[in-house]
Structure 1
């Protein structure tokens, strides 16, 4: 495993798995949200698809990596680039609970975030979850051509597949 793409919907455990896997196999990990939404001294802005690809290609040129994120058209090239794709298919009930728990932790200041944690964002996260479930079939179809390198996990703590 030298180039790993961890993909899943909001609150599936992508970041948790990326951190743990990075530690275990000694490969740097990158949050795709931070590549899409770049933080500068002037504030946070959304990079264009071309700018995102430039950042991804620069990281790729340096060797091994772990990228983690949701399914976005702007970086679906990672499905081709990765030698391993981990689809975190956490149960819906667990993701909904995690979204709310994360929101509460952010509101009381015990969990940092890169975005404005408010009711509008909470609603968006639930909407993204509904959208994913309604379009799951097309997402699964995008994974099919890569099935030989896809690992499906239902829990981010499942690292037993790494030797």
Structure 2
């Protein structure tokens, strides 16, 4: 993937299955900058089980990332604690793939994880699988409108991408 005039501070937001991590990995490799998953800002990952960070720990960790010279941050979160990331980003990419596409990707991901063909930060249980559909619906109904209501002030640096072709046109 080639990129046209991309910055070194990019925030990618979208629902579960929208392609955030895939895009973040590709852009990070192309731009040679680190990428971070917001879920890993929320959670301390341990083999024995994940531990949620306190609000203070989460804020300090995110501030460290945001204040670095170059980064790609991706995640579904758009709560107030993430606002500095949106504020400091040179570019915000909102992945607005269709609900059906995201649902298909959730199913595909689960199967690949259960077969051991794809890794994840969590154990792919049926409980998590069904929660992903719930989170997908919640993002559609609440997360998306909430993002544009809270962060519409950044529309001059926000790119809304609805499909793969559009993504390729923008970044090729």
Whether TM-score is above 0.5 comes out as yes
Report the count of equivalent residues: 163
Residue 17 of structure 1 is matched in structure 2 by 23
Take 2:74 and 2:128, find their aligned partners in 1: how far apart are those partners? 20
- Gaps in structure 1 of 5+ consecutive residues: none
TM-score by length of 2: 0.86
Q: RMSD of the alignment, in Å?
A: 1.8
CA contact (8 A) 1:103 1:122 kept: yes
For the Cα contact (< 8 Å) 2:38–2:77, is it kept in 1? no
CA distance in structure 2 between the aligned counterparts of 1:2 and 1:42, rounded to whole angstroms: 35
C-alpha distance 137-61 of structure 1, shift in aligned 2 (>3 A): closer
Q: How does 1:29-40 map to 2 (within 5 A)?
A: 29-40=35-46
Farther-moved stretch of structure 1 (138-147 vs 38-47): 38-47
Q: Is the 8 A contact 1:4 1:83 kept in 2?
A: yes
The alignment partner of 1:87 has SS state of: strand
Q: In 2, distance between residues paired with 1:43 and 1:127?
A: 23
Flag structure 2 segments of 5+ consecutive residues without an equivalent: 1-6
Give the equivalent residue in structure 2 for 1:141.
Answer: 149
- Comparing 4-13 and 16-25, the one that deviates more: 16-25
